[in-house]
Structures are given as structure tokens and as C-alpha cells.
Amino acid sequence: MGCGTSSSVKDKKSETALKAALVIQNWYRGRSAQLKTRQRYALTIFQSIEYADEQGQLQLSNFFSFMLENYTRVLEEDSELVTHLLGSNIQDKDRRDYLGLIDVPDSYCGPRLQFPLTFTDIDLLIEAFKQQQILHAYYVLEVLFETKKLLQRMPNFTHTKTSPSKEITICGDLHGKLDDLFLIYSKNGLPSVSNPYVFNGDFVDRGKNSMEILMILFVSFLVYPNDLHLNRGNHEDFMMNKRYGFTKEVLNKYKLHGKKILQILEDVYTWLPIGTIIDNEILVVHGGISESTDLNLLHRIERNKFKSVLMPPVPIDGDRATEKENKVGTTSTARGIRTNGSLSEQLTKHEWDQVIDILWSDPRGKRGCYPNTSRGGGCYFGPDITSRILNKYRLKMLIRSHECKPEGYEICHDGKVITVFSASNYYEEGSNRGAYIRVSSGTPPRFFQYQMTSATCLRPLYQRVNAVESSAIRMLKERMISRKTDLIRAFQLQDCSKSGKLSVGQWAFSMENVLGLSLPWRSLSSRLVTTDKDGNIDYMSSFQDIHIQKPVKEVQPTLIETVYRYRSDLQIIFNVIDSDHSGLISMEEFRSMWKLFTSYYSVCIDDSQLDELAERMDLNKDGSIDFNEFLKAFYVVHKFDKLNKSDTTVA
């Protein structure tokens, strides 16, 4: 009997322990799901703002056309700028013009490349970059000239074969993340005849080591031209580089010869192949396809005529009359400008559209093909379009990049489309993993994931999610403050009783109507505004912990918001005008460009306000403005930053 009682107690204890374990397990699963949802919302914010910025970048093509039609000084006095914007009359530069006057001094301690290059130069370069050494401009230019010469012999699509014993590795966007490339080479091996690679575009921009990545890839390509394949991405574009950081990186690292490097790079980009075809079964392109994708045509076009997404073809005579007033928010291409350049120097409109679709498109679950309204270029293509294009050209799979994915890759369209993204921590440390794919004939793709780690990545999941989410909310609030006047106007239109409060639905409608980011505003409201006990939102709380710093106190808020909102666009415009990279433009140029800008973008700003602001920013009164410093004067101050600063001061 005693034994029976003991057994019964043990059973009850086991049952209690099991119930406790189930409770803990359910709590953990619920908590993990909650954290994953928050992380997904944060990534959605990052991505929505990224795509909105790209849309703004593409709309600049229309502005440049408008500028050249209306900016008299450009047409009459600056033919170099006209040529730069239109891509006409570009002549091949002799290597001696660039390298003849550059010496590598004995004091240079960085890597010294020996041409013709061998595999030891790849090792040499990698080890030097790990020590944060800078490759001398002489070697950079040598590599660029040699790369261009070899690329000119390549077809638009490189064809390669695998076997069960010889896989090929496909990497997606790297975006200047050098540590990710180091990790890939460390885990997967250096390129070689037995270890081929495809790098699927977007090597540059955003990250701080784009030049190092380009040099490693180009040197690897020169050593193994048949085993390392480089596809062009939408960021291998000199106009994109002006906005997203690579131009600035080059000029900072190569103060004497940066301009020469950028000029040659602009040409190298145009010779990068459009895509790779593996085993006549797998199409690898950066962006995607559309319902009109014609691979036969894309094999034949003169790809080097595609200079930039911001430089669409000049319409034939008479087209300009029919292309009236391209407004902000459309995805139409720019109006053409009459120059003395030959139309044979550019692609046809149809050819240009084909390349844009390859570089900019994204897959979606919805059937059909429709405009990519998020990015402003390319299209969204559904599973039916994928099946149709693959069947038409007897292909089995499309591998593309172009989109950050939480796990580094994503499979869609019934397994026929794979997205691979190789830049880990793309938006923020801990925001996403990177991945690469290995494929071979007759076997399914193999996926390899990774994430560059640091001290912060070793923290618990909830702390990492908090950090990523806080960064995303911070970025979103900066977007909100740049449209403060418009948002308040939208809120007040909904606030019929003038109570200062709105329902969550009204607030969410106003936010989307003004910002157009397609975000889950209702779910995000708890992080952005304060809500009363009845569930109504105090809409002015949207701006309670953030403001734009005014460089001049008397300037109206509307002007401050406008300059801050368009600061990236303005920086590109002024950088284009500043052809000698001096960083300075005259007051007259500044006023003329601003008037054109406000006219085109329908921005209502009092000229006297801008004149006063410009004069205040001419610090040494020499009639010139350092426009980069001018734009830096407009920055967002977060309440949280102030608290941190005061804490630091006390300590």
C-alpha cells in the first residue's frame, strides 16, 4: 500500500511537471511569434522607406530633362553637363591619360599588384583589406581598365555549365558589406576553376567598403574570367551612386584621383553582362522579368548604351509634344532633350524598358504583370508570368536578388523563383541574415545562411528585436516630421469637431494618404502616438519627441520641411552641377536651381525666405555655398538623443 501511494505521488508530480513544461513552451512560442511579428514590421518599415527613396530617385530623370529644357545657363555654357546627363558623345579615354601622371611612391605600404594577375593577387588583396589598407589609385585604375577590356568581349548573358561534381555558387546583393564577402570566401572557398561563382549585382552603395568589394571581384574576374560571373545590378549605375554613397566613398578614399576612378567606373558599369544562364535551365538576373521580357532581344542589344536608369532614350521628333507634364508620383520616363548627339548612341525605348525590367522588377503572389509602384521602376510579376516566360525559353528556374529577405533567401512562384540576398544586417545590425546558393546539374539548390556577428548580436533575441524596431521607428518618425505640415492639415480635415483627436482608423487613413508607404499603421500606432482611454489618438503627439533643427531661426517651417524632405534629391542635383567636385556652387546657380526645383515639384516657397537662408549659409561672404554643408545644417533632433547627450555630459 505504501508503494502504491508513493507511485501515485510520483505520477502527480510528473503530471504537474508536464503541465508546467507545456505552459512554459506555449509562452515561449507565443513570445517568439510576437517578437518575429515585431521584427517583420520593422523590416517592412525599412523596406517601404527604401523603395520610396528609390521612387524619388527615378523621378529625378524627369527633373533633369525639365532642368535642361529650362536652365538657360546649362544649355548655353555647360555642354559638359549636358553630355554627362544625356550620355552622348562619350569618348573612350586612353589609359595613358589616366595612369601616365600617377606614381606609386616607395612609401606606399599597401598591396602591390603584378599584371597579369594571378590567384596570389586575390589573396594579397583580401589580406590587405582585412588590415584596412587602401589600394593605391594607380592599381585601381589598372584593374578598371583591364576589367573593361575583358568585359567588352563578354556576351550580354554568360552561359555556364555545371555537373554533379562541380557546383556553382550564386551570391546576391553585397552593398559594400565587405565582411560578408570575407565570410562567403572563408566558408565557401575562393573562386577557382573548380569553384565557380555568380555575383548577381549590387556590389556597391550603402555599405562603407564598396570599393574594396569591387576590387576583389574584379581581380577575381581577371584571374578566372570563365569561372567568376558578374551581373549588373540596379546600383551599378553612376547616378544611383551619387545618392546612395559610393561616389562619396570614392572621393573620400581617393582625394587626388577619385574623379578619374569614377569616370572609368561609369564606363565599366555599362559593360557588365545583364545576366547568367546556368545549364540552359536557370536564368540568373538581378531584378526579374515582365510579361514582355524578350531574351532573344536582350541577347542582341548593345548593353553599353544603357548608361543610367535616370537617362532614358531621347524620344524621336514629335514625341515631346505628346509627353505633357510628367507629374511626381508617376513612373513614366523623362522627356528627351535635343542635342547634337547621335540617336545611334542610345538604346531604343523598347530596348531600354527591357533592361529596366531585368534590373528593377520584383515577384509578387498576385497573377499578372503591373507597374512596380513601390520602387517606381520595373514591374511586379506574378506566378503566371514566371511560368510563361520560363516555358517560352525552355528554362526551369529564375534566381534573382534585389530584395532584402529576413532569412537571406526566399522561394516563391511554386519553387520557380528564388531570391538570394547576401548582405547580412542590411538595414540594421540583427535585421536580417545573408545567404548564398549552390546549384549543380540534376540536384536541387542548396542554401547557406550566415550573419556577421558582433557583441550586440550575442544579446538575447528580444534585445536585438528592440534595437532593430527602435531604429525602424526612428527612421519612420523622420519621414513623418518631414511632412509635418501636410500631416497636420490631413489630420485637421478629419477632425471635424476640432478636438485634437482622431480614431485610429482616421489617423491611419491620414498617415497613408500623405506618406504613401503602405504600412500597417493601426498596428504601429502604439509606437508612434499616444491614445486615450477611449482609444482615440492625440494626433499632435505624432511629433512630440522629434523636430528638425533650424540653421536660421526665422525661416518658416514649410521651407525647413521641404529642404529636409528633398535633401537627397537636392544633393544629387547640386553634385551633378558641381562637375569639378569642388563642393561649391555660386549663389546664382543655387537660386536658379532652386526655382526650377520648386517649379517642377510644385513646392510653394517664398523666394525671399530662401534668399535669406542662402545668404546666411554663405559663411565667408564670397558668393558661393558649400551645398553639402548647407544640407547637413538640416537634421532631425530626437528627444531620446537629447536625453542621451545630457546623460553623457553629466557623466
Which grid cell is 148? 573593361
Which among 197, 202, 185 is positioned nearest to 228, based on CA atoms?
197
Which among 490, 528, 496 is positioned nearest to 510, based on CA atoms?
490
Helix or strand holding residue 548 (H, E): strand 546-548
Is residue 133 within 8 A of residue 111, CB to CB? The reply is yes
Catalytic one of 84, 235, 286, 413: 235
Q: What is the largest CA-CA distance in the chain?
A: 110
Query: How far is 424 from 207, CA to CA, in rounded Å?
Result: 11
Place of cell 537617362: 311
| Half-sphere exposure of residue 515: CA atoms within 13 angstroms, side-chain side | 28
Cβ-based burial of 185 (10 A; exposed 0-12, middle 13-18, buried ≥19): middle
Please indicate whether residue 235 is annotated as part of the active site: yes
Q: Which residues neighbour 586 within 8 Å (Cβ) at sequence distance 6 or greater?
A: 623, 624, 625
* Burial per residue of 189-225, b for 16 or more beta-carbon CB atoms within 10 angstroms, e otherwise: ebbeeebbbbbbbbbbbbbebbbbbbbbbbbbbbbbb
CA 271 to chain centre: 21
Sign of the Cα pseudo-torsion (288, 292, 295, 301, in order) = negative
Is residue 567 within 8 A of residue 634, CB to CB? The reply is yes
Q: List, as own/partner pairs, every contact residues 414-420 make where C-beta atoms lie below 8 angstroms and the sequence separation is at least 24, other chains included.
A: 414/383, 416/383, 416/386, 416/387, 416/390, 417/288, 417/363, 417/386, 418/445, 419/172, 419/363, 420/170, 420/171, 420/172, 420/200
Place of cell 527591357: 354
Q: Any idea which residues carry the catalytic annotation? A: 235
